[in-house]
Structure 1
Amino acid sequence: MRRNDIRKKLNSLIKKYETTDPFELCIKMGIDLDYDDLKDGIMGYRVVLYRIPCIVLSNNNTDEENKDTCAHELGHHVCGHDTNVEKLKRSNRGFVSFGVEYEANSFMVDLLLINANLAEHPTRQHLLKHYKVPSWAERYVDWDYLQESADFNSFDSYY
């Protein structure tokens, strides 16, 4: 799936459900959210049982890690990945340039940055910190898109 298609699906969901919170999106989309004591560095996973989608998050994650993981797993669901179990582990959060993990990570980053205006931040690092994009996911940020969509006439613009 192309990045623009991922972004279109994301914007459609946000418009339909009127939220950018991944937990609320799951609830409104009928995706069960559960928590468990996951081992082996597993932060969360998505599974579909009897056509019922479910995202399981680790009790060992911080709140921010659970938000990121939920957004990532929601990306698998929204992008229509048909593998039954998608899991995010602490050890596999590196950069992937294609495939289902690329799409899920792109969805996650686009969701985290959905209301970002590049013009309102003095540096890229400031924007990433403000929107709490995890350092491992920085390579998924579409800087060209953020530059093109920046509102330099914004009241809070630095430029």
Structure 2
Amino acid sequence: MDELVNKLIRKHKTNDPFAIAHNINISIRYADLGNHTRGIYHRTLRRRFIILHNQLSPEWQRFICAHELGHDRLHKGINRFFIDEHSFFQAGKYERQANRFAVHLLTASDSLDPNECVQQFLQRNHIPEEVYPFYY
């Protein structure tokens, strides 16, 4: 996964998920997604969309955009809604992979400073505390 992240950053010269999404023609939209959904990746025909909950903080919007970009890069052709409704496969595996992708994308242009713990490093990179475990 680190190789995929590094290749993406080299190609687009940024680790900003919004800029990368724009460069690869993924439209970003904002909507009220209710209390339990922070973002959605949707592909229909040849058009791709990331829909972000419009009530999220900028920190969370950035993370969720990176997470949904992870679905685009890692899980081509897999639809979470299909998995939930038509199979016994747990989507949790894909969500964990997308979270790990997001954390690594958002921290790839930085490194731990001497005498800095991982939590300080992640906080400095504006990673939401709930997803710290996906750094490892």
Q: TM-score, normalised by structure 1?
A: 0.73
Separation (CA, whole Å) in 2 of partners of 1:42 and 1:101:
13
Separation (CA, whole Å) in 2 of partners of 1:104 and 1:123:
24
Alignment-derived partner of residue 25 in structure 1: 20
Identify the match of residue 102 of structure 1 among 96, 99, 105. 96
Q: Which has the higher contact order (CA 8 A, sep 6+)?
A: 2
8 Å contact from structure 1 (residues 14, 20) kept in 2:
yes
Structure 2: segments with no counterpart, 5+ residues: 82-91
User: Offset of 1:119 from its aligned partner?
Assistant: 3.3
Separation (CA, whole Å) in 1 of partners of 2:116 and 2:79:
42
Alignment-derived partner of residue 111 in structure 1: 105
Larger radius of gyration: 1
Question: What is the aligned residue count?
Answer: 127
Alignment-derived partner of residue 44 in structure 1: 39
Identify the match of residue 63 of structure 1 among 54, 58, 62. 58
8 Å contact from structure 1 (residues 22, 70) kept in 2:
yes
- CA RMSD for the aligned pairs? 1.9
State the identity %.
29
Q: Deviations over 1:58-113 (max 9, x none)?
A: 11111111101000000000113422357xxxxxxxxxxx7211210110010121
Q: TM-score, normalised by structure 2?
A: 0.84
Runs of 4+ in 1 over 3 A off after TM superposition: none
Separation (CA, whole Å) in 2 of partners of 1:116 and 1:126:
12
8 Å contact from structure 1 (residues 35, 59) kept in 2:
yes
